[in-house]
Amino acid sequence: MTGTIEIVLLGTGSPIPDPRCAGPATLVRAGGTTLLVDCGRGVLMRAAAVGAVAGSLDAVLLTHLHSDHITDLNDVITSRWVTSMAPSPLRLFGPPGTKQVVDAILESLRCDIGYRVGHHEDLTWEPPVEVIELTESPVLELGAVRVVAAPTDHRPVHPTVGYRVECGDRAVALAGDTVPCPGLDELCAGADALVHTVIRDDLIRAIPIQRLQDVCDYHSSVADAARTAAKAGVGTLVLTHYVPTLVPGDEGVWRAQAAEHFAGRVEVGPDLHTVTI
């Protein structure tokens, strides 16, 4: 086996704050490269638990610009800046609109930037962020690691992106919020693992609140994610960003729903759950 890929579920929570779950974020380590997919609340606190810091990130990959997926992007930008002893641009990939978001974050930090530059003689530069907007095509090559992007379907949120990380003979697809679609099928084809955000539509549809039920029409259910994995011949399905939030002890229920449509390995776990491919 060559090209081992480590997947760490930094944050598995829903948009509703929960003391047990950080916001959606996944760390991928492969070939000496560290990638962060999405920046939900508490991302750097969770990353610290597995020895990752903002300065160690080779790239951040955003799937889309919904608030719960970018809540702590400002923390990643600021923490990398103030802990770097020389300018270290953050490479940030995301769908069109990402630069607008980053520019707004930097503007919101304008006072803080001024305070820190004015106080530290050795800090003479502002936070450097290299934004690359995309919807598809090869994204990044770092040594043995190659990242590919393809469009997904989270409409009316548009555009949205999924990613495929390849290292040696291993490949992992990572889907943000999306329903089944050709772009996701392309990313998953023959992959060793699929990391997929999921909802329990059986639970959500039982809640008589239309705003909650609305989430069912633009997210994949557990069954949807399982069917996507089975269609693509994926070896392992990793569930994350559980809506509703995963209750300890209920992992078997989520796993069983997936197993009805997917015969491979199904991983269901809390924040910091780690899967090695």
Backbone φ and ψ for 68, nearest 5 degrees, come out as: -70, -15
Contact 35, 146 (CB under 8 A): no
Backbone φ and ψ for 89, nearest 5 degrees, come out as: -60, 135
All residues at 6 or more sequence positions from 230 whose CB lies less than 8 Å from its CB, including other chains: 261, 262, 263, 264
The answer to whether the bond into 138 is cis (omega within 30° of 0) is no
Q: How far is CA 174 from CA 124, 164, 177, 229, 249, in A?
A: 37, 6, 10, 11, 25
Backbone φ and ψ for 242, nearest 5 degrees, come out as: -70, 130
Residues taking part in catalysis: 68
Cβ atoms within 10 Å, residue 175: 31
Burial class (CB in 10 A: 0-12, 13-18, 19+), 166: buried
